Structure 1
Amino acid sequence: MTDLALLYEHPAWFAATFAALDARGIDWRAIHADGLSFDPAGTEPPARVILNRVAMSSFLRAPEHPIFFTAAALAHWQAHGARVLNGADALAIDASKARQLSLIAGLGLAVPATRIVHRAADLVAAADGLCFPIVVKANIGGSGAGIVRYDDAGTLAAAVADGTTPDSIDRVLMVQEYVPARGGSITRIETLGGRFLYAIEVDGGGSFDLCPADACAVPGKPAITMKAVDPAPELIAAAEAIVQAANIDVGGVEVMIDDRDGTPRFYDINALSNFVANPLGVLGWDPHDRLIDWLEAIIAEVKA
């Protein structure tokens, strides 16, 4: 049996990971979600260790996206003995901003004031008591998709009336206070194996799409700036607690400092970390090296 399988969807995001695996001589295979099927009565997974790299933004690239299919496949393979990394439990959190905020708040950490609904018609009533401006978010987003800001209740009501509010592929929506981030930037804390890996400060110039990877830089998209930072120890501890509670093996947590009162507010958990663009220039080292070290250790543990 193959030692490692990497399940993915995006055609370009993992070129560096593939190259690093080849360079290390690992027995591995790439499995693209398109064209894949699995036998629910079958008992042999595609590899001893399976790393899930399916992005929530996949629904933006194809209406027949693999998000829910992936959850079923990962759960099946894990039930039949595979060590699944970023498995079905992690994907369930990654695929629900509502569950993310509930998990974060349950750890005693601050989140933006939010209300969850399942009908656009309920957004106006749900926003009552929140401070405008607010944003309406799709429960399953990715790359800033499905986020719209409304500066007053009248504008929100008009958008609901004319059917222009965001939608979500699972029909779950959230209305959330717009948090003015101190300095206009957010901090993305990346983790590996439940522990801090690195952090970057990202400034998107007002854009909601803050993906920091090379493959996210597309024509017409506003440029983002980023730099390596050393978060306060309590922020690192909080990010580690979040990913451990979410069963996320490789992933990032995003936090911003609320400029109104200085409160760190955690607002997003991302189980797809394709790492920062130009890592040697930004970080001074390549996180792929540590990812491969970690994968090698897991493979050795499974084979022992």
Structure 2
Amino acid sequence: MERKVYVIHENQEWTKPLFDALNELNVPYEDWFLHEGTIDLTKEPPEGIFYNRMSASSHTRNHRFSPEYTASVLSWLESHGRVVLNNSRALQLEISKVAQYTSLQSFGIPVPKTIAAIGKEQILEAASSFSGPFITKHNRAGKGLGVRKFHSLQSLKEYVESDEFEPSIDGITLVQQYIEAPKPYIMRCEFINGSFFYAVRVDTSQGFELCPADACQIGDSYCPTTKNPKPKFEIIQNYENPYLKQYESFLRANNIHFAGIECIEDQNGNIYTYDVNTNTNYNPEAEAKAGLFGMRAIAKELQTYLTQLESK
């Protein structure tokens, strides 16, 4: 049987650019769309390279249990010694910001003050420890799910007790320190096979649409306007960040081969890291302008892994 690349995911739109790149390189691949299926534990999985692109926001596309199903598939693959890129540990971090933050901190990477809470009273109790503005967000998120900014405990109480309250799919709400940036943008650092590839500046003046391939608005309270619109995504050449090497060490330790890591700088120049996306996407306009192409780079890495496997 021909060895190939198996792409594990639940979103055809996000995967198409990768399939196009694999086709350009004539890399054999198979689409593993993990919404429903079966795993015969008495059989061995096929030989090949397995690339996990499962998303924390799958439930917003009616794929509620895709991450859980993927965890089972990855366990099966890994038990048979298959090469899995962005493996089970990467999936654990993809679907839990608590897991992300605790691991980031273990590598000396600052994250915003965050309290995880289950229960409405517990959310209010957590928020009472913040002296300034704070935000709420979902623990299993993606697409800016559940992100809202609050200036007072009373405004949070009104929200939590209203019909607008949106619980996280895993029940865990994060109450987090609000980081005010001197300029309305965040930085997203992209990593290919664990190494820094490029940084993209994301303009947040008209919203927090952080995913280059998807609309991730988080509410008007977070979205000041501008009369002079700029490109929302801009790749920055020669980007410097004191935590880049620590990011790479963090990724290696957690078996994350491909990821985007988002950070924000406060008024005093302190950098806080607040999101790790192991199902990273890229903005085609920004890449065309810079001449750098993330999906092509991933496809080449997958080709290399497949060639190495075939040579054994």
TM-score, structure 1 as length reference: 0.91
Per-residue deviation at 1:162? 3.2
Alignment of 1:1-304 (within 5 A): 1=1, 2-43=3-44, 45-62=45-62, 64-162=64-162, 164-205=164-205, 207-213=207-213, 216=214, 225-229=232-236, 230-259=238-267, 261-303=268-310, 304=312
Which amino acid is 1:146 matched to? G
Counterparts of 2:264 and 2:216, CA distance in 1: 25
- Residues 6-37 of structure 1, C-alpha deviation per residue, up to 9 Å, x if partnerless? 11211211212111111211121111113432
- Residues 114-163 of structure 1, C-alpha deviation per residue, up to 9 Å, x if partnerless? 11112222011112221331111110111111212211011112223336
Q: Secondary structure at the match of 1:12?
A: helix
Give the stretch that moved more between structures: 84-93 or 242-251.
242-251
Counterparts of 1:164 and 1:82, CA distance in 2: 45
Counterparts of 1:136 and 1:35, CA distance in 2: 32
Q: Secondary structure at the match of 1:278?
A: helix
| Residue correspondences, number | 299
Q: 1:131 to 1:196 in 2, by over 3 A?
A: same
Per-residue deviation at 1:233? 4.7
Q: 1:80 to 1:73 in 2, by over 3 A?
A: same
Q: 1:279 to 1:150 in 2, by over 3 A?
A: closer
Q: Secondary structure at the match of 1:182?
A: coil
Which amino acid is 2:244 matched to? I
Counterpart contact for 2:8–2:33, Cα < 8 Å: yes
- Residues 50-88 of structure 1, C-alpha deviation per residue, up to 9 Å, x if partnerless? 101121111111053401111111111111121111111
Which amino acid is 1:126 matched to? A
Per-residue deviation at 1:275? 1.9
Which amino acid is 2:12 matched to? P
Q: Report sequence identity in percent.
A: 26
Q: 1:47 to 1:165 in 2, by over 3 A?
A: farther
- Residues 179-237 of structure 1, C-alpha deviation per residue, up to 9 Å, x if partnerless? 11231111000001111011100013252331113xx2599x99971111132152322
Per-residue deviation at 1:89? 0.8
Which amino acid is 2:249 matched to? A
Stretches of structure 1 that go unaligned for 5 or more consecutive residues are none
Q: What is residue 226 of structure 2 aligned with on the other side?
A: none
Counterparts of 2:63 and 2:10, CA distance in 1: 13
Q: 1:218 to 1:167 in 2, by over 3 A?
A: closer
Give the stretch that moved more between structures: 10-19 or 88-97.
10-19
